[in-house]
Amino acid sequence: METWSVDQVCSWLVEKNLGELVHRFQEEEVSGAALLALNDRMVQQLVKKIGHQAVLMDLIKKYKQKSQELKSPGETALITQAEDEESSSPASGGKQMPSFYPADNLDNGLIDHRVLKQRRNVRHILARNKALQWTKSYVLPEFPYDVKCMLAEQKCPDHSMRIRIIEFLQADMTKYLEGSLYPTTQQYNDVVNALLQAHPFLDEDGCGFFLWKRALKDRFKYVRRPIEDDEQVMRNKCKFGHRRGQTRKSLADIRFNEIKIVQIK
DNA sequence: GCGGACGTAGAGGGGTTTAG
DNA sequence: CTAAACCCCTCTACGTCCGC
């Protein structure tokens, strides 16, 4: 890893379901050596999402630990394999995500402004990575520390907490969708049921199921909104993306979009 | 069996609200 | 001010029912 180029680091990120970070890593020219030299503050500046910060720091930490233990060439493959096994999601029966959320990590008030701007480009490349097997008994992902505290205290989540819960659930579901951004109704149901079973107090007024499900659907919709390079998304936009008073996209437009998609590919 | 009416689910667009 | 959630509306697709 020490000798990796920026491109190799980016491939590794994609492999670790952190493809969303590729653009930032390329922008900041993070090579393998730079990756290993990152400290907490740098990771906070580089990576917006606390969940991604935690995963990234944990992967680096594990790499450093194992390279100390092994101290032999060609170890990377072994480590990658080990990490693959360890980082599999709870729903696939693997171990849960590392709970590395030190209190100082929450102090992200100085996050680089460019990172905030990046949120506009909400292409969840995660969706394109290796899909995990969806099982009926969906297991909730490991939430960040502050969310876990709120859940443990059974406090009614405020707006920002709701957003964070939804964001984590959406990111976790994406891993199972084989590149699609369209979960089935059953999948929405499974996730919301798992959430409400684990935390019944979230079922406000007995209509929590519908509220959480709608929030989750809206979140996926919001993720799809800016996407213009995905065949399935574009097809649905052509199909449904017009309202009374608006002209329907002509067949020519649809063809043009299809050609654009092929060119992008 | 066929075709129209109807209901429902699931898409999207876009306005409004909320929170940082 | 802006990003993101929330909410409402419209449209399409599909299944079911019913009359012919």
> Can you give the CATH number for the domain in which A92 is found?
1.10.150.50
- 3-class secondary-structure state, position A229: coil
Task: Pick the last residue of a domain from A71, A99, A121.
Answer: A121
Establish whether the CB of A218 is closer than 7 Å to any nucleic acid atom in strand C.
Answer: yes
Dihedral angle sign, alpha carbons of residues A177, A181, A184, A189: positive
> pLDDT at residue A75 above 70?
no
- What does the pLDDT average to over A7-13? 84
Say yes or no to pLDDT of A97 above 70.
no
The reply to whether A184 has its C-beta less than 7 Å from any atom of strand B is yes
Residue A55 resides in a domain: yes
Q: Is the residue at A86 inside a domain?
A: yes
Residue A188 within any structural domain of the chain = no
Say yes or no to pLDDT of A84 above 70.
Answer: no
Residue A235 belongs to some domain of the structure: yes
- A4/B7 CA-to-C1' distance in Å: 59
From the CA of A189 to the C1' of B5: give the distance in Å: 31
Nearest residue to nucleotide B11, by CA–C1' distance, is A240
Residue A241 lies in a domain: yes
For residues A22 and A14, the answer to whether their CB atoms sit within 8 Å is yes
Q: What is the sign of the dihedral through the CA atoms of A40, A46, A49 and A51? A: negative
Q: Give residue A111's domain range.
A: 1-121
pLDDT at A226: 75
The number of folded domains in chain A is 2
- Select from A87, A121, A155 the last residue of a domain: A121
The helix (H) or strand (E) run that includes residue A108 is none
Q: pLDDT confidence of A110, banded at 50, 70, 90? A: very low
Torsion angle of C-alpha atoms A48, A178, A79, A62, degrees rounded to 10? 30
**C-alpha closest to that of A139 among A181, A180, A85, A175:** A175
Asked, for residue A132, whether it belongs to a domain, the answer is: no
Higher pLDDT, A2 or A117: A2
- With cut-offs at 50, 70 and 90, classify the pLDDT of residue A134: low
> What does the DSSP assignment read for A123-186?
--GGGGSPPPPP-SS--PPPPPHHHHHHHHTTPPP-HHHHHHHHHHHHHHHHTTSTT-S---HH
pLDDT digits 0-9 by tens, A135-147: 656 778 777 777 7
Verify if strand C has an atom below 7 Å from the CB of A235.
no
How far: A76 CA to B16 C1' (Å)?
52
A240 touches strand B (CB under 7 A): yes
Domain boundary (A85, A100, A121) is at A121
Q: Is residue A113 part of a domain?
A: yes
**How confident is the model over A143-170, as a mean pLDDT?**
78
Strand B nucleotides in reach of protein CB atoms, 7 A cut-off: 9-14, 18-20
Residue, of A40 and A248, whose pLDDT is higher? A40
Q: CA(A113)–C1'(C1) in Å?
A: 15
| Domain assignment present for A214 | no
A244 sits within 7 Å of strand C by its CB: yes
CA of A206 to C1' of C4 (A): 25
Residues 6+ apart with CB under 8 A from A19: A13, A125, A126, A128, A129
pLDDT at A157 over 70: yes
- Residue A243 Cβ under 7 A from any strand C atom: yes
C10 C1' to A237 CA distance, Å? 14
Select the more confidently predicted residue: A219 or A58: A219
Of all protein residues, which has its CA closest to the C1' atom of C11?
Answer: A240
Q: Which residue has the higher pLDDT, A104 or A9?
A: A9
Interface residues 144-163 of A with strand C (CB < 7 Å): 159, 162-163
Confidence at A8, pLDDT banded by 50, 70, 90? confident
Q: Is the pLDDT of residue A51 over 70?
A: no
